[in-house]
Amino acid sequence: MKITDLLKRESVELSGTPESKGQAIDQMVELMAKGGNISDLQRYKEGVLKREEEGTTGIGEGIAIPHAKTDAVSVPGLAAMLVPQGVDYDALDGQPVHMIFLIAAPNTEDNVHLEVLSRLSMLLMDDEFRTNLLDAADVTEFLAYIDEVERKKFPEEYGEEKQEQNQPEEGYRVLAVTACPTGIAHTYMAAESLENKAKEMGISIKVETNGSGGAKNVLTPEEIEQCECIIIAADKEVDMPRFDGKPVITTKVANGIHKAEELLTEATSGKVAVYHNASKESGSGFGGEEENLGRKIYKALMNGVSHMLPFVIGGGILIAMAFLFDGAHAGTAEFGMGNPFSRFLKQVGDISFGMMFPILAGYIAMAIADRPALMPGIVGGLLAKSGMTMAVEETGWVSSGFFGALIAGFAAGLIMLGLKKILEKLPKALEGTKPMLLYPFLGIAAMGALMVFVVNPPVGAFNEWLNQVLASMGESSRVLLGAVLGGMMAIDFGGPFNKAAYVFGTASIASGQFGIMAAVMAGGMVPPIGIALATLFFKNRFTKSEQQTVATNFIMGLSFITEGAIPFAASDPLRIIPPCIAGSAVAGALSMLFGCGSRAPHGGIFVIGIIDNPLLFLAAVAAGSVVAMLGIVLLKKPLAAK
């Protein structure tokens, strides 16, 4: 669908003067309504704002492309506005936005907004195209220039033959793959930037885009075989085994947009490291940057944690609901299983929650040694959960729990790397037996021996000792532990410290230490709420765009989504992070002091009905939030009036 088919004259404004992002969206929605594309203006605007809450559509380079797909749209449409003086749109590069395109798509159309969005992103990467649009004398010239560029770029849509890119007989010199987490704008912007720069430099290139609609312009085995180097400009996983044995540069998608020339220069230098999939050698990092051991360990751990959390959260909330619906048996041995409905919730929740250790171990192992390591990792996690040892008569089976699963995950990955190395010299005729016979048999045998004889006995004993220590802690020690865990939740807002405290809290639920999870949840709720209070009551210390986040931060804080504080912490870390740590520590300490407990590993205000001492828990969160607010407003000075 052509841009000029969607963009009507009455929906174009060449001299917009919005003073804020909110005003810009209001004016853009009005322009869209003038084109007759919207059946319900208010509902369409709500769709646009909801998309902005997921992440800004200010994609950088002075461009914003807001969009919404909703049944409030009767006909697909576009609106455009130029803002000569610029407007603060919370763009990803922090720069003012001078050009805004708004997309409207009805629910009946299959991803028309994504098709238009990707096309706009590609065209707007051309500096000359942007400049000519900004310099357009009137709407007629503005539309005519878009039509001219579209005709050149997509001649087949005008009934003209498309001139195929000349591919040298020996193949493309450079291949590339671009991908961003959402698979929309930056995927195509990076591809366009690399193609344009390669053309300037006289380098033949083909770029595969891993967008939201799937991979396009897919690289063929012949092209991969013939090329000099492959550039992976991606912020998510892409299909890497096909590049085994070829020089590969890995980098983030933003470098594909902003550092295309440097990437292409490095790709054609002949000095790029070769990628080997089997040994997990990742080729070259852009500019010679290589992942250190600590970064690799962290990525493997986070791979396990990210796959584990849905089981923990879903199962944990079901278990908590079982207790909520079985109040009649509170304090008895049947609590949570006293009626058919609560028994159903408890049993399903237990199964889901019990998957946390095998899933954690399995996906840590998979991050280290790919798919063959998943199986021994899961088996190791199950053995950690069961606590099986060969000294049953003397010690009994004691689960090695979270720590055992961690060890199992990394051990399984290393075991599989070792097996691959040992078995790589087998005859090719036996290659097919590796994934179906040798890897499973040898991997499980080695994993079982390691867990039963080496890991479970000492780690299980440590786990039992730790549970006894936590259970016997005095009040002052529990308060201190709550303060430490609560403060950790606010150090990096979702980073390693935050995740360490959270995972410790979820693992403690399995041990019956519900107070730890309550302290962790209270600490994690404080930063967004504290920032929301500061922006609500002390507006003179924040920009207009920051003031507009009050409702969002309240919702995220009450929902136990600590990441809501990240934009503020990133822009002013020294004045935001320390007060948030202090407030979260206060909330965690008070939660422990008040004897609060949570059987649910997530949910915030939405699971308040199943938190022990719920009113005191809310008081702890409120006190911590006020401490964070006061610290922020003391450190941040009022902004100069414009």
Q: Which residues are catalytic?
A: 67, 180
- Rounded-to-integer distance, Cα 498 and Cα 28, Å: 39
Q: Which two tokens stand for residue 352?
A: 């889901």
Report which secondary-structure segment, H or E, holds 419. Answer: helix 401-423
Phi, psi angles (nearest 5°) of residue 602: -165, 170
Residue 129 · residue 101 · CB < 8 Å: no
Phi, psi angles (nearest 5°) of residue 260: -60, -45
Enumerate residues 6+ apart whose C-beta is below 8 A from 242.
219, 221, 224
CA nearest neighbour of 251 among 227, 279, 272: 272
Residue 38 · residue 72 · CB < 8 Å: yes
Enumerate residues 6+ apart whose C-beta is below 8 A from 526.
486, 489, 490, 557, 580, 583, 584, 586, 587, 621, 624, 625, 628
- Rounded-to-integer distance, Cα 184 and Cα 70, Å: 18
Contacts 24+ apart (CB under 8 A), 463-472: 463/398, 463/399, 463/400, 463/401, 463/403, 463/404, 463/511, 464/398, 467/511, 467/512, 467/513, 470/508, 470/511, 470/513, 470/516, 471/513
Residue 607 · residue 600 · CB < 8 Å: yes
Token pair 């079985």 is at which residue? 326
Report which residue type is found at 241.
P
CA angle (283 as vertex; 281, 287 as ends), nearest 5: 135
Residue 399 · residue 354 · CB < 8 Å: no
Report which residue type is found at 182.
T
Phi, psi angles (nearest 5°) of residue 160: -110, 155
Helical residues (DSSP H) of 125-184, grouped into ranges: 127-134, 139-153
Q: Which two tokens stand for residue 593?
A: 């002091």
CB atoms within 10 A of CB 436: 9
- Rounded-to-integer distance, Cα 526 and Cα 586, Å: 10
Torsion of CA 603, 607, 612, 615, to 10 degrees: 100
Q: How far is CA 506 from CA 312, 350, 513, in A?
A: 7, 13, 9
CA nearest neighbour of 422 among 445, 442, 407: 442
